[in-house]
Structure formats: structure tokens, C-alpha cells
């Protein structure tokens, strides 16, 4: 797996495993949301400084982005669509 694909796979894996929406990670890492998406789609070539900010925002060491996926691993499922959290329904009195 090429380096850009490896980084993209691991950033997405970690983010989804932690349940962090892409927008929130972008905000926490102080980067544009669309650029964060480009990193995960392998359309962007992030600098080491940017990867360091993303790693700190995820609470992992930078080296986590370079771990090889296990054989047969598939891409991670996406998080629930939408920007608003699910809220319980309250009955009106």
C-alpha cells in the first residue's frame, strides 16, 4: 500500500473507531473540513506538521498513521450522516 493510501486508511480507521465526525476532527486539527475529506480520500498530500496536528486531535501517536492494515481488512463504515446529534423525543404535555 502506498504511503498516502496508508495514511488515509489509518486516519479514517482511527476517526471512525473513536466515533469522531470528520467535521469535528477538522475543527480540532484547525484545518478545512473539505481538506480533511481530501486526506481521507487520498486526494491531498498532507505535510508532516498537519499529520501531527491530526494525530494530536485524535489522541494517538503519529506512527499510528503508518500501520499496515491486516490482510483482508476492508474500509471502515461511515458514521451517521448529518450534523446534529440524535436527541431523544420528548412528549408534549
3-66 classified as CATH 3.30.70.1380: no
pLDDT for 45-88, tens place per residue?
999 999 999 999 999 999 999 999 888 666 666 655 555 444 44
- The residue extents of the domains of the chain are 3-66
C-alpha cell at 11: 486516519
Is pTM beyond 0.85 here? no
Amino acid at each position: 500500500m502506498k504511503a498516502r493510501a496508508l495514511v488515509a486508511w489509518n486516519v479514517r480507521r482511527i476517526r471512525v473507531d473513536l466515533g469522531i465526525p470528520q467535521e469535528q476532527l477538522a475543527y480540532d486539527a484547525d484545518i478545512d473540513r473539505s481538506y480533511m475529506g481530501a486526506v481521507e480520500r487520498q486526494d491531498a498530500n498532507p505535510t508532516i506538521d498537519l499529520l501531527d496536528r491530526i494525530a494530536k486531535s485524535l489522541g494517538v501517536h503519529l506512527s499510528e498513521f503508518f500501520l499496515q492494515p491486516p490482510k483482508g481488512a476492508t474500509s471502515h463504515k461511515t458514521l451517521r450522516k448529518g450534523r446534529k446529534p440524535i436527541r431523544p423525543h420528548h412528549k408534549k404535555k
